[in-house]
């Protein structure tokens, strides 16, 4: 599995490129900005994008590059149905922070808990992990999980945005992410990667 991490945009959100070494098919997770950098990183490994996967919508720092990546690749854009409506209001959401963001196209289809997404030899299982947003999801495959803003190294996602809920977020982490196993690598929406075991032991929000 090829995994590339790019911190993109003014808020330095993590965009992930996940590619199959054999087929060169790939998914782009949370293209928040800097579409040219993302496309260049794909070209470096001769990867063809099959899917654009949004861990959550409405937060422009994770989805602001949806349109340009989709226009360039023709890939399918997937998001959970509860966050799909948020994609229509990205410019307004960014303006609230004094920033700008390009509008996102509507998703090609919605995804749900337990669904499987396959490209090349890689299969992601969708985990519905609400709390940061109602339709937040994580993508799990082969000892890795991409969690968006659900969980961070030593912290958790904000729950003070519209649709956020602290107790829901903690339940998502403990009921959906912890059972994946201590050795699973957690690729977060901001900052460094961590592991499930590390967060069980050290995260002050989860003890």
- Give this prediction's pTM: 0.94
* Integer-rounded Cα radius of gyration of the chain: 16
pLDDT 10s digits, 36-57 = 999 999 999 999 999 999 999 8
Q: In terms of Cα–Cα distance, which of 59, 122, 121 is closest to 90?
A: 59
CATH of the domain at 77: 3.60.15.10
pLDDT band at 175 (very low <50, low <70, confident <90, very high): very high
pLDDT 10s digits, 1-44 = 999 999 998 889 999 999 999 999 999 999 988 999 999 999 99
Q: How many domains does the chain have?
A: 1
CA distance 54 to 79: 5
* Residue 126, beta-bridge partner list: 139
Strand-pair category, 109-111 with 76-80: parallel
pLDDT band at 131 (very low <50, low <70, confident <90, very high): very high
Give the number of C-alpha atoms closer than 13 A to the C-alpha of residue 98, restricted to the C-beta side. 2
The pLDDT value given to residue 94: 57
Q: What is the residue range of 43's domain?
A: 2-202
Q: Is 126 helix (H, G, I), strand (E, B) or coil?
A: strand
Task: Let me know if residue 35 belongs to a domain.
Answer: yes
pLDDT 10s digits, 46-91 = 999 999 999 998 676 778 899 999 999 999 999 999 999 888 876 6
- Burial call 34-50: b when 16+ CB within 10 Å, e when fewer: bbeebbebbeeeebbbb
Task: Let me know if residue 41 belongs to a domain.
Answer: yes
Mean pLDDT of the chain: 93
Task: Let me know if residue 207 belongs to a domain.
Answer: no
The larger pLDDT score, comparing residue 101 to residue 3, is at: 3
The pLDDT value given to residue 17: 98
Residue 43: its H or E element: helix 35-44
66-73 and 35-44 helices, crossing angle to 10°: 40
């Amino acid at each position: 599995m090829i995994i590339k991490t790019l911190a993109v945009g003014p808020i330095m959100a993590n965009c992930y490129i996940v590619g199959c070494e054999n087929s060169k098919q790939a998914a782009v997770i949370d293209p928040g900005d800097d579409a040219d950098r993302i496309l260049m990183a794909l070209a470096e490994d001769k990867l063809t994008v099959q899917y654009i996967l949004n861990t959550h919508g409405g937060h422009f720092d994770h989805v602001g590059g949806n349109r340009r990546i989709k226009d360039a690749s023709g890939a399918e854009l997937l998001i959970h149905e509860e966050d799909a409506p948020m994609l229509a209001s990205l410019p307004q959401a960014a303006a609230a922070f004094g920033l700008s963001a390009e509008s996102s196209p509507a998703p090609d289809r919605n995804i749900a808990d337990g669904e499987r997404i396959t490209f090349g030899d890689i299969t992601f299982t969708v985990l519905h992990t609400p709390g940061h947003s109602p339709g937040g999801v994580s993508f799990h495959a082969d000892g890795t999980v991409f969690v968006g803003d659900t969980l961070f190294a030593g912290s958790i996602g904000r729950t003070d945005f519209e649709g956020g809920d602290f107790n829901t977020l903690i339940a998502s982490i403990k009921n959906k992410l912890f059972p994946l196993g201590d050795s699973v690598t957690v690729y977060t929406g901001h900052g460094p990667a961590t592991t499930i075991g590390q967060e069980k032991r050290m995260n002050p929000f989860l003890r």
